[in-house]
């Protein structure tokens, strides 16, 4: 971490011109966790902001812990990148969602160890792509701004030795930290060969196949032949997989409780069948194949590991007292190039096959075999050591932009394709407040580090009348920087403790972190929560809101809010003329909001005030130049709001849809009002007018 300046009242180099002489500036901070962003930490003189008397908004006070916004992110990795989950499974990045738990790292006792890491948010956009190739065959596709952990610390994919883009970056010979993913994994989907291999390893390893003659009761000299199959396991995943695979081959089994649990033993369930035909079929299925495929060997390793394997204290072993099973295990491991050694036999005749190669070999084993029992696959708590050859061989531009994703996690890192990968961001969008145009809004963030302390003092004043306070009306309180500073918990506690009702409006999925705290606050004061979800077309959302969580992630947060017992309003704001005001888009937006559990919808047409207007028109000219003349007509000169004719047309279109989706409590925002016009065309596109709408300040 680099600290710039420590004294109050002293002009600091590198700060914004407007901040350089502020006597409440504590320090300006740049930290690797937020590459490209400077936090200007200030001691706020006040926390509560009174809304101007002429404003039309229905609240009198706001709190803004941040000035500027860190929602703008550089999105990092190809969606197909494989992310190691905390339960030991591996999932494509595109399938990882906020609320999931992945593997991250923490420093403990002087060592970096793998640890559970909660996914707080997910982001997407299109970025120029680079392919990073490692010596062990691992490949990653990432943006140039993404960072990986190397033996020399965090390094960006690309950078420079000097100039504006000066920063640590990957060069050939650097070694990444982790276990890698090696060469592309073979196709081990549950094909017939894989399923046969799994059943062979599982049933021969831990199953019972019995064929025996028994005397008939009361009939001396007579007997009958019994056929029995039974498989008893303590882990439901492996038992369920075995039952499913057998059923796929025509063998139906019944499930029963095999043994109850105790303080020292877990309960066990079992599957069984006593039909002769089933016995014969199972015997046929687990015959040793004359010519086994790679898929069969992968399935066999999964089955024998689920039946007789362990992964304890950094060592993976598979044990059995049948030398044929031991030999088959070694052969299957050698098929995929693993290094293994046979230990034993012990006094009971049991031998063990021990896999060598550390975490890298174990994780590759799990990738190839894909055993069912997740508890055996976890690497949590293990030290982060690099056994694989993870030297950078090449960093190559792909020459194109592709969709990329990033996740924000509680440990600020995660494991991608077997290497330790960092959250990152730094994408300029627009200016706001007193920050300069372009980069400053996203790169220069003012943080009121003492906002909760100041707020408590203000709320304790005898003059405070406990009027409603709104958060999120200016800058988002749950932007990414909140993950670093955690100012909201103190604000929530101060408001609830003083008996002050409040509301929160956000685009940030980090809201989930504080739902338990908000639920506690609700026991003392009124708490209203709302999510801003304006665009339901993924491509358009990535273009106009590149630094915000995806629409799907925000809808998932609505569900989490509802699950926590809150009502949740969705702000369908702003509606963009000619882009998101079609009947199809509005109907889809309201349907998805309702399915997520939204209890009401608030909508309004686009308004363009102050310096936002030139930024928006620059975006429009770049992305939709054909619409520029229409927007010029709707927002001429200093006009900030859409014309009354358009607002009336929009109201006529959206209100029936809200009634149909039972979201009729929603209304057009209090600023513009719902003005009706008989002249508005209710069936065609939005009206384009020549007259300017009145300029109004929000």
pLDDT at 681 over 90: no
Burial letters for 295-318: b for 16+ Cβ neighbours within 10 Å, e otherwise? Answer: bbbbbbbbbbbbbbbebeeeebbb
pLDDT at 143 over 60: yes
CA angle 211, 212, 216 (to 5 degrees): 135
Peptide bond into 98 cis (omega under 30): no
* pLDDT score recorded for residue 490: 95
* pLDDT score recorded for residue 19: 37
- DSSP of 389-403: --BEEEEEEEEEEEE
Percent of the chain beyond pLDDT 70? 81
Predicted confidence band of residue 190 (pLDDT cuts 50, 70, 90): confident
What's the rounded Cα separation, in Å, for the pair 12 and 241? 64
What's the rounded Cα separation, in Å, for the pair 399 and 419? 24
Predicted confidence band of residue 548 (pLDDT cuts 50, 70, 90): confident
- pTM of this structure: 0.52
Higher pLDDT, 675 or 317: 317
pLDDT at 668 over 50: no
Higher pLDDT, 593 or 313: 593
pLDDT at 610 over 90: no
What's the mean pLDDT when you consider all of the chain? 83
Mean pLDDT of 538-555: 81
Higher pLDDT, 690 or 492: 492
What's the rounded Cα separation, in Å, for the pair 449 and 616? 31
* pLDDT score recorded for residue 693: 28
340 strand-pairing partners: 355
The token pair that represents 637 in the structure block: 């000169």
Q: Which of 80, 123, 87, 86 is nearest to 104 (CA)?
A: 86
Strands 568-575 and 527-532: parallel
Predicted confidence band of residue 640 (pLDDT cuts 50, 70, 90): confident
CA angle 134, 404, 382 (to 5 degrees): 50
Q: Which of 428, 434, 432 is nearest to 19 (CA)?
A: 434
User: Which range, 77-91, 183-197, 401-415, has the best average confidence (pLDDT)?
Assistant: 77-91
In degrees to the nearest 10, what's the CA dihedral of 279, 284, 286, 291?
Answer: 180
What's the rounded Cα separation, in Å, for the pair 192 and 270? 23
* pLDDT score recorded for residue 680: 38
Percent of the chain beyond pLDDT 90? 54
Higher pLDDT, 98 or 440: 98
Predicted confidence band of residue 430 (pLDDT cuts 50, 70, 90): very low
What's the rounded Cα separation, in Å, for the pair 382 and 238? 24
Higher pLDDT, 314 or 628: 628
401 strand-pairing partners: 128
Predicted confidence band of residue 26 (pLDDT cuts 50, 70, 90): low
pLDDT at 581 over 90: yes
Mean pLDDT of 243-250: 97
* pLDDT score recorded for residue 130: 96
Strands 223-233 and 268-273: antiparallel
Predicted confidence band of residue 15 (pLDDT cuts 50, 70, 90): very low
Least confident of 50-64, 101-115, 405-419, 594-608: 50-64
Q: Which pairs from 560-563 meet CB under 8 Å and 24+ separation?
A: 560/99, 560/512, 560/515, 561/511, 561/515, 561/529, 561/531, 561/597, 562/596, 562/597, 562/599
Predicted confidence band of residue 650 (pLDDT cuts 50, 70, 90): very high
Residues 663, 594: contact at Cβ < 8 Å?
Answer: yes
Higher pLDDT, 126 or 646: 646
* pLDDT score recorded for residue 506: 92
> Mind listing the pLDDT tens digit for each residue in 271-289?
999 999 999 999 999 999 9
Mean pLDDT of 573-583: 94
Burial letters for 482-501: b for 16+ Cβ neighbours within 10 Å, e otherwise? Answer: bbbbebbebbbbbbbebebb
Mean pLDDT of 15-23: 39
* pLDDT score recorded for residue 2: 25
* pLDDT score recorded for residue 473: 75
What's the rounded Cα separation, in Å, for the pair 615 and 641? 16
> Mind listing the pLDDT tens digit for each residue in 441-496?
445 678 888 999 999 999 999 999 999 999 987 778 888 778 888 999 999 999 99
Peptide bond into 663 cis (omega under 30): no
* E strand or H helix at 193: helix 192-206
Residues 205, 320: contact at Cβ < 8 Å?
Answer: yes
* pLDDT score recorded for residue 14: 36
Q: Which of 571, 615, 622 is nearest to 441 (CA)?
A: 615
* pLDDT score recorded for residue 5: 28
Residues 332, 343: contact at Cβ < 8 Å?
Answer: no
CA angle 195, 199, 202 (to 5 degrees): 135
Predicted confidence band of residue 371 (pLDDT cuts 50, 70, 90): very high
pLDDT at 655 over 60: yes
Place of tokens 């960006």: 156
Burial letters for 112-124: b for 16+ Cβ neighbours within 10 Å, e otherwise? Answer: bbbbbbbbbbbbb
pLDDT at 116 over 60: yes
What's the rounded Cα separation, in Å, for the pair 657 and 660? 5
* E strand or H helix at 29: strand 25-30
């Amino acid at each position: 971490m680099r600290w710039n300046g420590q004294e109050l009242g002293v002009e600091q180099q590198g700060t914004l011109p407007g901040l350089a002489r502020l006597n409440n500036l504590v320090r300006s901070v740049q930290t690797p966790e937020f590459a490209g962003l400077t936090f200007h930490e200030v001691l706020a003189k006040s926390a509560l902001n009174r809304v101007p008397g002429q404003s039309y908004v229905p609240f009198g006070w706001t709190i803004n812990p941040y000035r500027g916004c860190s929602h703008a992110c550089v999105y990092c990795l190809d969606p197909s990148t494989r992310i190691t989950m905390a339960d030991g499974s591996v999932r494509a990045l595109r399938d990882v969602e906020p609320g999931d738990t992945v593997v991250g790292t923490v420093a403990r006792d002087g060592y970096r160890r793998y640890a559970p890491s909660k996914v707080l948010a997910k982001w997407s956009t299109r970025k120029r792509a680079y392919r990073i190739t490692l010596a062990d065959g691992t490949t990653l596709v990432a943006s140039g701004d993404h960072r990986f952990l190397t033996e020399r610390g965090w390094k960006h994919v690309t950078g420079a030795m000097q100039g504006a883009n000066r920063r640590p970056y990957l060069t050939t010979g650097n070694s990444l930290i982790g276990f890698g993913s090696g060469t592309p994994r073979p196709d081990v989907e549950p094909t017939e060969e894989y399923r046969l291999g799994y059943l062979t390893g599982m049933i021969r390893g831990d199953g019972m196949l019995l064929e025996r003659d028994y005397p008939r009761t009361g009939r001396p000299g007579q007997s009958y032949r019994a056929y029995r199959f039974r498989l008893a396991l303590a882990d439901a995943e492996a038992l369920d997989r075995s039952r499913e695979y057998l059923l796929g081959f025509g063998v139906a089994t019944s499930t029963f409780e095999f043994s109850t649990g105790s303080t020292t033993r877990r309960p066990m369930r079992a599957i069984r069948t006593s039909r002769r035909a089933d016995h014969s079929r199972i015997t046929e299925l687990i015959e040793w194949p004359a010519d086994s495929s790679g898929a069969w060997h992968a399935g066999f390793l999964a089955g024998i590991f689920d039946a007789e394997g362990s992964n304890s204290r950094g060592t993976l072993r598979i044990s059995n007292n049948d030398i044929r099973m031991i030999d088959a295990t070694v052969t299957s491991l050698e098929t995929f190039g693993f290094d293994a050694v046979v230990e034993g036999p012990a006094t009971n005749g049991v031998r063990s096959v021990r896999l060598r190669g550390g975490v890298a070999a174990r994780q590759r084993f799990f990738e190839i075999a894909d055993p069912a029992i997740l508890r055996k696959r976890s690497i949590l708590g293990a030290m982060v050591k690099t056994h694989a050859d993870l030297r950078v061989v090449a960093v190559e531009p792909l020459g194109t932009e592709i969709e990329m994703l990033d996740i924000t996690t509680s440990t600020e890192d995660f494991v991608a394709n077997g290497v330790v990968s960092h959250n990152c961001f730094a994408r300029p969008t627009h200016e706001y407040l007193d920050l300069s145009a372009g980069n400053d809004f996203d790169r220069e963030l003012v943080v009121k580090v003492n906002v909760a302390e100041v707020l408590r003092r203000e709320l304790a004043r005898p003059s405070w009348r406990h009027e409603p306070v709104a958060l999120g009306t200016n800058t988002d309180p749950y932007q990414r920087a909140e993950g670093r500073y955690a100012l909201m918990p103190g604000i929530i506690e101060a408001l609830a403790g003083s008996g002050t009702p409040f509301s929160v409006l956000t685009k940030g999925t980090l809201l989930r972190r504080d739902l338990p705290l908000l639920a506690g606050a609700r026991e003392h004061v009124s708490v209203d929560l709302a999510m801003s979800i304006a665009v339901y077309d993924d491509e358009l959302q990535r273009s106009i809101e590149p630094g915000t969580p995806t629409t799907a992630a925000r809808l998932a947060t609505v569900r989490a809010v509802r699950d926590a017992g809150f009502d949740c309003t969705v702000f369908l704001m702003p509606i963009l003329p000619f882009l998101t005001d079609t009947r199809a888009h509005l109907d889809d937006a309201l349907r998805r909001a309702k399915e997520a559990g939204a209890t009401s919808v608030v909508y309004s047409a686009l308004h363009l005030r102050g310096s936002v207007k030139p930024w928006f028109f620059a975006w429009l000219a770049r992305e939709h130049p054909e619409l520029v003349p229409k927007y010029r007509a709707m927002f001429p000169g200093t006009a900030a709001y859409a014309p009354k004719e358009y607002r009336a047309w929009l109201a006529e279109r959206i209100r029936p849809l809200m009634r149909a989706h039972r979201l009729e409590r929603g209304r057009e925002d209090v600023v513009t009002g719902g003005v009706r016009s008989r002249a508005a065309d209710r069936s065609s596109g939005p009206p384009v007018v020549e007259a300017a709408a009145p300029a109004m300040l929000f």
